[in-house]
Each structure stands twice: as C-alpha cells, then as structure tokens.
Structure 1
Amino acid sequence: MSTASWSAPPADISVTPDTAHALLARDHPDLASLPLGPVYEGWDNVTIRLGEHLAVRVPRRARAAQLIEREHVWLPRLAPAWGFRAPVPERLGAPSAEVPWAWAVVPWIPGDPAYAAPLSARGALALGRALATLHAPAPPEAPRNPFRSTTLAERAERFDDRVARLLERGLALDDALAREQFELGASQRRPLETWCHLDLHGANVLSDRGRLGGILDWGDLGVADPATDLGQAWCLVGSSRMRDLLRGYDDAVTPLDESAMLRIRAEALAYAVTLAALDEQPYADAGTRALADLDVLTG
C-alpha cells in the first residue's frame, strides 16, 4: 500500500473573490454589486459568501466539475420535497476563460459545522428525519457514486488498505475485530437502494445551536444502500445520539432490523477508517473518535 500523503488534492484553477466578481459581472450583473465575504475552499469547490443571503460556488478542479452537475441538475428536482435546508442553486453560470466549468449562485445557509457545534438530541432526531425524507426511490437515470454506491463487499480491499494505513501510523486499532464486524455487515443482503447523500461528515452538516441547520455539499449524491448514510451519520453523532437519530428515521425507508444494523455498523466502520486515514483535520480526529466510539480501539 502506498504511504504517500492523503490530503486535499491540488486545485486546477485559482478561485478568488476577483474571479467570483468577474463571473457575476458577466452572467449575473444584477448581483455583481453585492459584497463578497469569506472564502471557503473545500476539496472540490470554493464557496464565497455573496451579500447576506447568497454564496458563489465554483469548482476548483476538473473532477469537481463533473460532481457539481449533480447539484445543478438534481437538487432543484429533489429539494422541494425536503423539510431541511440545502444549497439548491438559484442561478447558474456558464463556463468561461476564468472557470472552464459551470458554477452556481446558491443560498447562504447559516450555522456552524457540526464538528465545531455537535448536534443535540433534537438535532440528531432532525437529521434522522432528514435522511428518511432523502432516502426516496430514484429513477433509472439517477447517478451512482463510483466509490460509495457499491456494496460493502466490493469496498473490502479499500477498507483493508485504510486499516493497514492506520496500523502503520501506530493507531491502537483492533484490526481483527474491525474486519470481523465489517465482513459481517458485508455479508448481509441489501434490500433496496435509494437516493443518498454519501458524504455526511461534520463539515457538511450544519448545526444551529445544536439543531440541524442544513446539509451541504451534494456532489457525491447518488443511489446507494440507505445504510451508507446512516453509518456515516453514526460517525457524526456518536452512539450517544444514534438512538435519537434512528428514532427520527423511524423505519421510514427500510426496517431497522438486525441485518440493517449490521450493515449500518459496517458502513460506520468504513467511513471512520476513511476519515481517520486522512492527513487533514478535523477529519482525521473525527475518524479516530468514531473508531473509539465503535469500540474497535484497544488503547
């Protein structure tokens, strides 16, 4: 396994407030006079606050341009049925010399990342209800995530690689127990697939003083086992709030029987080792905390 650094990929283009202003002046001049605020640079996109209620969201690399199409095409179709906030594009911008891909103006959703302001019991309950709403049947043309729409069994090699990476770093991981629980979940039948978010870490879930403020970054949106989102949410809220989250979910989509809980736990382990293996914070620490919460650390 490669031991190269696993951190945010380099940007293909630089996206600055000047870039955003040029894009707005060309495609949406009625918005170009609004003040530009803080810049938030993620792995795939740059988001720049625009005035009080909006933000400009621009891909920073070519791969992101393919993912952000899911936000442009599918969020406007799906979000009207949701009872939670998401950054549904209000305006779209065309490719140009500055940015060779489509971009968007989205609503600014106030709140703090759940990593910094953990969800309360009420917030976890609301997240469960949000996932129950999201996990609706998808049409045949719905996208599939190449990494997380696949079955647990198909992701077993990747899971083993990340476990090995963590052991090389000296993490006190009970790898035999982790692999046993992962394999137990992978052996269960997946009864259905639905729409899923597929990247529910604490920077993509907003907290409004502990309540659910909104869910961001829908570039990984696709059809998958609902257990995938529920396992990722377990890593976020922890065992102490998972009961509240499942109460909000309330068997709405798939029966939360023993088989489902084994899949959810295996998905939680898969996501926890993914986060813990990253070089960047707060993701690495969040993954390690999740592994401790899942009782697979020995120290």
Structure 2
Amino acid sequence: MTGAPIPTRVGANGPPPAHESITPETARALLTDQFPELSGLKLGTRFDGWDMVTYRLGESLALRIPRVQAAVTSLATEVRWLSELSPGWSFPHPRIEQVGTPGRGYPWPWAVVSYVPGGTADALPLAADAGVDLGLALAQVHSPAPDDAPVNKEQSVRMTERADDVAWALAQLSDARGPAGERVDARAASAIWSAAMAAAEPTQRLWCHADAHGSNILSDGGAFAGIIDWGKMAVGDRAVDLGFLYTAMAPGGAEVALATYRDATRCDDPNLESRARGIALNKCLMWATLDRPANVTMAWRGLNSLAVTS
C-alpha cells in the first residue's frame, strides 16, 4: 500500500513476540524426551502464525507450539474439539497425533499433528470454481454446537458489535491505496454494511472454524486442498466462515461457495449473504490497516471481490 502510514489500533500490527524458549533445538529436545520415536525425523523451517509456531516434521507430521500463553487455550480447543468433530469430515484437515507437555524451558503444552500438503490461499488464492469444494467442506463443519462449545471473542458476536471497528477502519482508509492503486469506495462499503446491520441475526448455535481466512485455507494450484489451524473454532454464525472466504478466493469464488453451501445444507436463511458480506467487509477493512503483508494482501483481495474499491 502507498501513501501515508495508517494509524492502527493498539496491538493490531501483528502477532505478539513468541516465547524466547521456542527454537529448533528446544523442539528437537522436547521430541527426544517425550516422543523419541519421532526424534529422528527432519525438522522443517519455522513458521510463525498469530498463535502458534509450526515446524514441519518429516514428510507427514508437523509440530504446533503455542507462541504465547493466550494461545494455550487455542491448542486445548483444537485438541479436544477437532478430535471429537472431525472423524466424519471428507475434506483434508490435520489430525491430532500426540500432545506434549512443558519441558526444556518451554512452559506450555504443545502437539504433533498430521501435515496437510498445499500452499496457503493468502499467497495462492483459490480459483472461483473451487468454491464448490469449499462450500461443501463448510457444510460439514457447521453442525449443531453444544452448550459447552467455546466462544470466540472476535467472531461469536452480533453484527452490531462490529460497527465501531468498521467505522474506525473506513476513516483510517480514506486516503489509502491498495496494491493496484485502488481506493475504498466508502459509499459502496456503507451500502454493504447497512444491509448487514439490517439483516436478522441467526437463531441456530453452530460450530464454526471462526478463522477461515486465506492463511488457513490450502490451495493446490487454485484447487481447494484443505483447512488448517482449528484453534479458534467456536459457536457462531455460519456467515462468519463464509464471509472469510472473500480473503481466500478469486472474484466470484465466495459466491460459488455460498450457493453450494445453501444447496448442501438446505439453508433457507434469507439474510445469510448480507451477513457474510458484512463480516467480510469488517475483516478486510480492519486488515487493510495492519502492518502485516499477508493480511493486507488478503484485505484488498476481499475488498476488490466485494466491489467496494474504485
């Protein structure tokens, strides 16, 4: 993005620093101590997400190591609920293979998971026709959630609770330009937001991935290759996951996924598309203010797909 720096909200520039004990040497030592049968496998390059450090382990596994204490809850969510909910899913997703304990100066639990091949759709967006497979995958995820399902403080919220962020981000982006020199069309964005605010809230309690943006959706040459990083899964509106798809797909792809999803679930909610587009707008506007290239790329991709740029 060009132009003057955009002010950001406190803590919004990127993930917090990782615990200093997380190194390849510590990861290898934890494996040697706790799962010696895996200790001879090659340890891959470190990748830092918002919550987790990930190392590929051999050809078919990966390590998931919480970067900060707040991410320990995410790992616990993934270990419990992914294991419980995923056996019937037909799309590629990680499986929990082992759960490790603190040691060697590292203070929290960690996990060994199955590795799902593919490139992340933040850099390799899915083709529009991949929306068919992605819509079918989300239809499997969105099952009824029990009373003890976790709540995601950012995504298990009503549309009205997003309004301040939308207004703030629109103001910050008034002079910003995207990677192709585009600007946010405030009038078009406001029309989408007004429709979302007018849409009736959902009445069902459903499981959601709750973080199904391009960094957690896998692409194989534009084809859908899986969904990873289930630590934020929570009860919520089905429109949350569907709205995130605007960050991961070529123009028109999210609409293909929505149409396929409706057919697969027989969802008759007349407000689904309005809420999904409103949530997409909320996330993309906020991410466009960040100092984090992957998020900024996804933000402008989504804004362009929503047709709120000029």
TM-score (norm 1): 0.92
Q: Which residue of 1 is the match for residue 63 of structure 2?
A: 56
- 1:118, CA displacement in angstroms? 2.5
Q: Which residue of 1 is the match for residue 214 of structure 2?
A: 202
Choose from 132, 137, 141 the match for 2:148.
Answer: 141
CA RMSD of aligned residues (A): 2.1
- 1:274, CA displacement in angstroms? 2.5
Comparing 184-193 with 146-155, greater Cα deviation is found at 184-193
Equivalent residue pairs, number: 298
- 1:257, CA displacement in angstroms? 5.0
State whether structure 2 residue 116 is matched by structure 1 residue 116. Answer: no
Choose from 30, 39, 46 the match for 1:32.
Answer: 39
Q: Which residue of 1 is the match for residue 101 of structure 2?
A: 94
- 1:56, CA displacement in angstroms? 1.0
Q: Which residue of 1 is the match for residue 19 of structure 2?
A: 12
State whether structure 2 residue 279 is matched by structure 1 residue 267. Answer: yes
1:57-113: per-residue Cα shift (whole Å, max 9, x none)? 101111111211111111100110211122221000012352211100011111111
**Any residues of structure 2 matched to 1:223-262 within 5 Å, and which?**
223-253=235-265, 255=267, 258-262=270-274
Whole-Å separation in 2 of the counterparts to 1:25 and 1:194 = 40
Whole-Å separation in 1 of the counterparts to 2:9 and 2:226 = 36
* Fraction of identical pairs, as percent: 38
- 5+ residue gaps, structure 2, are 1-6
- 1:289, CA displacement in angstroms? 2.3
Does the C-alpha gap of structure 1 residues 97 and 14 become closer, same or farther in structure 2, counting only changes over 3 Å? closer
Whole-Å separation in 2 of the counterparts to 1:268 and 1:200 = 11
1:182-201: per-residue Cα shift (whole Å, max 9, x none)? 13212322232311111122
Q: Is the 8 A contact 2:142 2:208 kept in 1?
A: yes
Q: Which residue of 2 is the match for residue 211 of structure 1?
A: 223
- 1:292, CA displacement in angstroms? 2.1
Q: Which amino acid aligns with 1:59?
A: P
TM-score (norm 2): 0.89
- 5+ residue gaps, structure 1, are none
State whether structure 2 residue 299 is matched by structure 1 residue 292. Answer: no
1:233-289: per-residue Cα shift (whole Å, max 9, x none)? 133224422343124313444635542211111111112113212211122022112
Whole-Å separation in 2 of the counterparts to 1:287 and 1:36 = 32
Instruction: Give the secondary-structure state (helix, strand or coil) at the position aligned to 1:237.
Output: coil
Choose from 182, 197, 221 the match for 2:193.
Answer: 182
Q: Is the 8 A contact 2:258 2:273 kept in 1?
A: no
Whole-Å separation in 2 of the counterparts to 1:56 and 1:289 = 30
- 1:22, CA displacement in angstroms? 0.9
- 1:2, CA displacement in angstroms? 5.3
